[in-house]
Amino acid sequence: MENILIREALLTDIPKLLEFEQGVISAERPFDETLKEGKINYYDLDKLINQADSQVIVAEIAGELVGSGYALIKESKEYIKHERYSYFGFMYVDPSHRRKGVNQLIVETLKNWSKNKGVYNISLGVFAGNQSAINAYEKAGFSKTLIEMRLQLEK
């Protein structure tokens, strides 16, 4: 097994993280017909890296960035038992480094960060048709809860 280093993302990592973001978007396009064509962005990486209630991490192998993820502490709805939860996003592993345990290390690191912040509930979003991602998250201990549904009305 290759030596995988998990560390906090730095602002100098943003160019590579922007590439990862496009990888996430490319992977999700087949599952979401509402995404605009062309280059789009999901994340405000500067903000996520700098704010106290989020943690962006990267995975490195031999000095090369190969994966990413973030945890963002959010306030729960007033009817939920817990006051806060961590939302995990930007989960990406370069295709040439998949099946090496990179995603599991990223998830474990973000779980530990959340616990250290006193947050014990975690959620994330995954498209229902993205079975490989669902399998990876279930392997990490997540379970399915809510299915979001859409309907496109004719104009």
For position 35, what pLDDT does the model report? 95
Question: What number is the average pLDDT over the span 29-37?
Answer: 94
pLDDT per position as a tens digit, 83-142 = 999 999 999 999 999 999 999 999 999 999 999 999 999 999 999 999 989 999 999 999
Q: Tell me the per-residue pLDDT of 44-67, one tens digit each, with 9 for 90 and over.
A: 999 999 999 999 999 999 999 999
* Selection from 76, 43, 70 nearest residue 56 by Cα: 70
* DSSP 8-class letter at 76: P
What are the tokens at 95?
């295709």
Q: Mean pLDDT over residues 4-32, rounded?
A: 97
Sheet with strand 64-75: strands edge to edge:
4-8, 54-61, 64-75, 84-93, 122-124
pLDDT value, residue 152? 86
CA distance 100 to 142: 19
Q: Do residues 97 and 37 make contact, with C-beta atoms less than 8 angstroms apart? A: no
What separation in angstroms does the CA of 82 have from each of 8, 85, 120, 121? 27, 7, 9, 8
User: What average pLDDT score do residues 74-87 get?
Assistant: 96
Q: How confident is the model at residue 2, as a pLDDT?
A: 75
The model's pTM is 0.92
Where do the DSSP E strands lie in the chain? Answer: 4-8, 54-61, 64-75, 84-93, 122-124
Q: Look up tokens 């290759």; give the residue.
A: 2
Q: What number is the average pLDDT over the span 69-75? A: 98
Domain with residue 20: its CATH number is 3.40.630.30
Name the pLDDT band for 1 (thresholds 50, 70, 90). Answer: low
| Angstrom distance (rounded) from CA 127 to CA 132 | 10
Q: Which amino acid is at 129?
A: G
Q: Is residue 54 assigned to a domain?
A: yes
In a domain? residue 43: yes
Q: Tell me, yes or no, whether 49 lies in a domain.
A: yes
Number of domains in the chain: 1
In a domain, 153, yes or no: no
Q: Would 90 be classed as within a structural domain?
A: yes
HSE, CB side, 13 Å, CA atoms: give it for residue 18.
Answer: 9
